[in-house]
């Protein structure tokens, strides 16, 4: 189980918090709007009414213990920038922020955001590529309770070959591809002799619970 905080419970923030919570994670949902906080309360570990631009109040929440903090404050560009700056100063290591455009993204990165998303653009790309390339890996239709995911390798996987790990027997999952980041390379159906590096991304297929078990490894 991981711990997440979601700041800004608009449409994106609501669904992000709800999905994380339903996936078995601890989720703290934060918004200055009481109605939004009440709406997300059943789908979060804790729902808090708070103005996240109040640095002292934000610091008092103890968010430095979170695995990641998601900042989703709608069209209020200045507010998201200020919140990311405060989160960085508090000591948050992983900050995912929603950007409205390329300039907004650049500023968010400069004030501490470690990952940026553009929901509308990203979804448009996924839908368009799914229509034009129906056999693309990301769009394989899966049966209920099965997931196709990209995950970073747990510490105990690093330096071991796929043969040594024997993931199919031990965890009932399949590594169908590996994204190598250093150097950049995409390896479809990697050989058993492939040795996993900490910079690799594993494209994994399996039952939802089995994949959760992998993600739970440190």
Residue 170 belongs to a domain with what CATH number? 3.30.70.1450
- My answer on whether 105 and 11 are in the same domain is yes
What residues contact residue 167 under an 8 Å CB cut-off, 6+ apart? 173, 174, 175, 214
- Decide: 180 and 202 in contact? Cβ < 8 Å: no
Token pair in block for residue 25: 């994670």
Q: What is the pLDDT of residue 209?
A: 84
Token pair in block for residue 97: 């922020």
What residues contact residue 15 under an 8 Å CB cut-off, 6+ apart? none
User: How many CA atoms are closer than 13 Å to the CA of 101, on its beta-carbon side?
Assistant: 4
3-class DSSP state of 173:
strand
Query: Within a domain: residue 98?
Result: yes
The pTM is what? 0.64
When divided into structural domains, the chain yields a total of 2
- pLDDT tens-digit profile of 70-84? 999 978 789 999 999
Backbone angles phi, psi at 145, to 5 degrees: 75, 10
- My answer on whether 101 and 170 are in the same domain is no
pLDDT confidence of 218, banded at 50, 70, 90?
A: low
Query: Within a domain: residue 72?
Result: yes
Q: What is the pLDDT of residue 136?
A: 45
How far is the C-alpha of 47 from the C-alpha of 45, rounded, in Å?
A: 7
- My answer on whether 89 and 12 are in the same domain is yes
What residues contact residue 22 under an 8 Å CB cut-off, 6+ apart? 43
The fraction of the chain above a pLDDT of 90, given in percent, is 58
- My answer on whether 75 and 183 are in the same domain is no
Residue 9 belongs to a domain with what CATH number? 3.40.50.720
Full domain range(s) for residue 197: 140-215
- My answer on whether 18 and 118 are in the same domain is yes
- My answer on whether 116 and 15 are in the same domain is yes
Query: Within a domain: residue 62?
Result: yes
Query: Within a domain: residue 39?
Result: yes
Query: Within a domain: residue 12?
Result: yes
């Amino acid at each position: 189980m991981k711990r997440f905080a979601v700041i800004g419970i608009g449409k994106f923030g609501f669904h992000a918090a709800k999905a994380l919570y339903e996936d078995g994670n601890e989720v703290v949902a934060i918004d200055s709007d009481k109605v939004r906080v009440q709406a997300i309360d059943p789908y979060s570990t804790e729902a808090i009414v708070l103005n996240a631009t109040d640095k002292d109040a934000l610091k008092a929440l103890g968010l430095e213990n979170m695995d990641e903090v998601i900042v989703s404050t709608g069209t209020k560009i200045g507010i998201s920038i200020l919140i990311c700056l405060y989160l960085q100063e508090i000591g948050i290591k992983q900050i995912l922020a929603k950007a409205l455009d390329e300039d907004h993204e650049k500023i968010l990165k400069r004030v501490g955001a470690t990952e940026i998303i553009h929901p509308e653009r990203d979804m448009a790309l996924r839908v368009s590529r799914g229509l034009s390339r129906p056999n693309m890996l990301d769009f394989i239709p899966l049966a209920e309770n099965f997931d196709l995911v990209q995950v970073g390798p747990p510490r105990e996987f690093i330096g071991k070959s796929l043969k040594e790990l024997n993931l199919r027997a031990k965890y009932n999952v399949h590594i169908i591809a590996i994204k190598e980041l250093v150097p950049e390379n995409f390896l479809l159906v990697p050989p058993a002799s492939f040795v996993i590096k900490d910079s690799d991304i594993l494209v994994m297929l399996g039952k939802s619970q089995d994949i959760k078990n992998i993600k739970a490894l440190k």
